[in-house]
Amino acid sequence: MNRKSILTYHFKNGTTVQTTIKTDSLEVFRNKQTGTIVRVEYNFFDESSRRIYVIDISEIAYITSELVS
């Protein structure tokens, strides 16, 4: 059973970008001293989910993941 989630990047300027990922594949890496996000890794749920090309990590306020199936 493939479980999928909606991953949402929430940017400091108030905009958001979403993509569909495999639920168990999300990994968020943070700087140990500052706690800021330095890298996000995940597997897309399917080929139609590949919508995010380049994101400036320093512009992300926070990330949410919502289980959808």
Distance CA 46, CA 49 (A): 6
**Domain parsing of the chain, residue ranges:** 4-67
List pLDDT tens digits, range 10-51.
999 999 988 888 888 888 889 999 988 888 888 887 777 676
Distance CA 5, CA 19 (A): 8
Give the pLDDT confidence score for residue 2 in this predicted structure. Answer: 59
Distance CA 37, CA 9 (A): 11
Distance CA 59, CA 15 (A): 10
Give the pLDDT confidence score for residue 1 in this predicted structure. Answer: 57
Give 27-31's long-range contacts (Cβ < 8 A, gap of 24+).
28/63
State the pairing for strand pair 4-11/16-22. antiparallel
